[in-house]
Structure 1
Amino acid sequence: MHIFRFLLPALLVALLAEDAQCRRVDCRDNCCSFVESFPVKLRKLRSSYQEIRDYYESNDDLEFALFNRTVLENFKGPYGCHVMNEVLHFYLDTVLPTAITQETRRFKTSIDDIGNIFNGLKRDIVKCKAYFACKKPFEISRIRNSYSQMKEKGLYKAMGELDLLFNYIEDYLASKRQ
C-alpha cells in the first residue's frame, strides 16, 4: 500500500504532462500561461523533493497527518487560491527556513529549489486572484497550531508531507486548465 502512495501521483503527473504536451492551449494572458505551464514546475518540485524525501519521511514518526481531508476539500472549494496562498506562505515563512540545518546542509539545493518555485507560485497566485475567482479566505490556523504542537517533529511532518501538498496544488491548478 505504501508504494501506491508514490506511484499513483507519479502516474498522474506523467499522464497530465503527456496530456499537456498533446494539446496546445492558446493563452491570452499571464494567468492562463501560469496554469498551463505548471506541469513543468511540478516535475521540478517532485524531482527536488525526491532528493530529500527519504530523510524527512524516515524522521517523521508522528501518526497523524498535517494535511488532512479537510485541507484537500478546501483546495477543491471555491477558495482554493486562498488555501494555496496560505499554505505556501506557511512553508516559505515557517517550514523551509528551518529545514536547512548542519545535518541537512547536503539538501540545501533541493530545499532552495522548492522554496524558489513556491515563491513563484505564491506571486502568481496573488497576481491571478481574479483568474481563479477566489471567494473566501482560508484559515490556516489549525495547520499552524498542529505544527507548533509537534515541536521539532513538526518540521519532519511538514517536509515529509510535501508530496501530498504537491498533489493538492496539482489537483487545484489542473482544475483551472482550459
Structure 2
Amino acid sequence: MIFSGAILSAIVMLLLTDSAQCRRADCKSDCCSFVEGFPVRLKELRSAYREIQRFYESNDDLEPLLDENVQQNINSPYGCHVMNDILHFYLDTILPTAVQKNHLHSKTPIDSIGNIFKDLKRDMLKCRNYFSCQNPFEFATLKNSYEKMKENGVSKAMGELDMLFKYIEQYLASKRVKQ
C-alpha cells in the first residue's frame, strides 16, 4: 500500500494545480461541454464510491492493479484508448462481478458508478477526435494482472476505484480549454 500512497500523493498534488480547478470555458462544442462539465459527474462518482469504499479497501491487501504505468498511459497521447479499455473492463467485468459476489447494500452505488461509466465511455467515443487520440494502450497487461489475482481481483479493482476516478479527472482536466 506504500506504492499506492505515493501515487495517491502525486495525483493529489496534480489536482491542486490550476488545470484541475473549476473555471468557466466558452465551449463551442458538445465535447468541450462534456469535458468542462465532468467535475459534476466526478463528484457523483466519488459520492457513490464513498458508500462502498471502506468495504472494498478493507478486503484489499494486494499489489496495485492501477499502477503508475496505467497513469502514464492515461496521460499519454493515446489516453483515450486507455480510458476506453479500462471503462470497458470495469463495465463488463469488475462491476457486474462486484454486484454478484457482494452484499445487496452495495448494488445501488455500483449501479450509479456503472451508469456514469457508461455515459463517460459513450461521450469519450463520440469525442475521440476532440481528444486527438493516438496509438492504442496495451490493455492486456492490466487484464492479465487482474486475472492472476483470481477472486481477490474484484476487491482489488473495486478498492482502487478512487484512484481510477482521479486518473479520469486528471485526463479530462488536461483536455480542458486553456484560457
TM norm. shorter chain > 0.5? yes
Cross-structure match for 1:75? 74
Distance in 1 (CA, whole Å) between partners of 2:110 and 2:102 is 13
Number of equivalent positions: 171
User: Share of identical aligned residues, percent?
Assistant: 57
In 1, distance between residues paired with 2:50 and 2:132?
33
1:114 is aligned to 113
Offset at residue 102 of structure 1 (A) = 6.2
1:24 aligns with 2:24: yes
CA contact (8 A) 1:16 1:39 kept: no
Give the superposition deviation at 1:5: 4.6
| RMSD across aligned positions (CA) | 2.3
1:90 alignment partner, SS class: helix
Aligned partners of 1:113 and 1:58: how far apart in 2?
A: 21
What are structure 2's unaligned runs of at least 5 residues? none
1:43 and 2:74 aligned: no
CA separation of 1:144 and 1:88: change in aligned 2, threshold 3 A: same
Question: For 2:100, what is the secondary structure of its paired residue?
Answer: coil
Deviation at 1:11, TM superposition (A): 10
Q: What is the rounded CA distance, in whole Å, between the counterparts of 2:29 and 2:91 in structure 1?
A: 27
Alignment of 1:80-99 (within 5 A): 80-99=79-98
Which aligned segments of 4 or more residues in structure 1 are displaced greater than 2 angstroms? Answer: 8-13
**Any conservation in 1 of the 2:78–2:133 contact (CA below 8 Å)?**
yes
Aligned equivalents of 1:101 and 1:92: distance in 2?
13
CA contact (8 A) 2:34 2:123 kept: yes
- Alignment partner, residue 58 of structure 2: 58
TM-score for both structures, normalised by structure 1: 0.88
TM-score (norm 2): 0.88
For residue 103 of structure 1, report the CA deviation from its aligned partner: 3.8
**C-alpha distance after superposition, 1:13-59 (max 9, x if no partner):** 8x877x42xx3211111100000000000000011110000000101
2:124 is matched by which residue type in structure 1?
I
Change (3 A) 1:134 1:52: same
